[in-house]
């Protein structure tokens, strides 16, 4: 009975029968499925990833690896490319960091930056971030590698806006008011 059971188990589990997993990396999904089917294997897409400049539906990774020996009907898990550009959250930089800090953080995330837009305020302080002319808030999502514009404070603009229509700046105006109070 024991010997019969062992023979039956060997036959049932296809002992010493295996199929070579083909290399399907860099193939299209239909090509990969065809190559797996000829080896009596199944392919299932479990993940997708964005790769700039690569068409959608190309195999990036496979598990088990190419060259592995597996049983008939085994599932090979595939990761393919997608055309969907991932969205990335804008970090909390607005009115919270200097120009150098903001540039470093945004570039590290993968964003590209244009020439900063100068606004009245403290020198080199970040007062806003724009994407395609639209003002963003912290936490807004924009496409990976988007081109952003930082709105940076400039004391010269602030001082020039403080000048009134008569050409007096705010300090001169307050002195004039003090002089008027003597009369």
Residue-by-residue DSSP string for 133-173: TEEE-TT-EEETT-EEEEEEEEHHHHHHHTS-TTS--HHHH
How confident is the model over 112-159, as pLDDT tens digits?
999 999 999 899 999 999 999 999 999 999 998 899 999 999 877 655
**φ/ψ of residue 179, rounded to 5:** -65, -35
| Residue-level pLDDT at 161 | 54
Min mean pLDDT across 9-23, 32-46, 104-118 is at 9-23
Local confidence band at 14 (pLDDT 50, 70, 90 cut-offs):
low
Q: Is the pTM of this model over 0.85?
A: no
| Overall average pLDDT of the 164-172 stretch | 45
Residue 131, number of CB atoms within 10 A of its CB: 16
Nearest residue to 127 (alpha-carbon basis) of 149, 151, 101, 92: 151
Omega within 30 of 0 (cis) for the link into 116: no
CA angle 70, 73, 76 (to 5 degrees): 65
Distance of alpha carbon 144 from alpha carbon 147, whole angstroms: 9
Which residues 6+ apart lie within 8 Å of 91 measured at CB? 105, 106, 109, 138
Residue with tokens 């024991």: 2
What tokens were used for 91? 């970090």
């Amino acid at each position: 009975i024991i010997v019969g059971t062992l023979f039956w188990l060997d036959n049932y589990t296809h002992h010493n029968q295996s199929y070579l997993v083909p290399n399907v990396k860099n193939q299209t999904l239909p090509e990969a499925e065809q190559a797996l089917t000829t080896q009596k294997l199944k392919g299932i897409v479990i993940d997708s990833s964005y790769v700039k400049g690569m068409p959608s539906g190309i195999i990036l990774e496979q598990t088990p690896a190419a060259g592995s020996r597996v049983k008939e009907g085994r599932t090979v898990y595939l990761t393919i490319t997608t055309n969907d550009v991932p969205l990335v959250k804008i970090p909390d930089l607005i009115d919270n960091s200097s120009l150098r800090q903001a540039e470093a953080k945004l570039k590290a995330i993968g964003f590209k930056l244009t020439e900063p837009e100068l606004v009245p305020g403290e020198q080199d302080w970040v007062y806003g971030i724009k994407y395609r002319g639209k003002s963003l808030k912290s936490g807004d999502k924009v496409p990976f590698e988007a081109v952003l514009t930082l709105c940076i404070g400039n004391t010269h603009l602030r001082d020039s806006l403080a000048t009134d229509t008569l050409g007096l700046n705010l300090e001169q105006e307050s002195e004039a008011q003090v002089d008027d109070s003597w009369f």
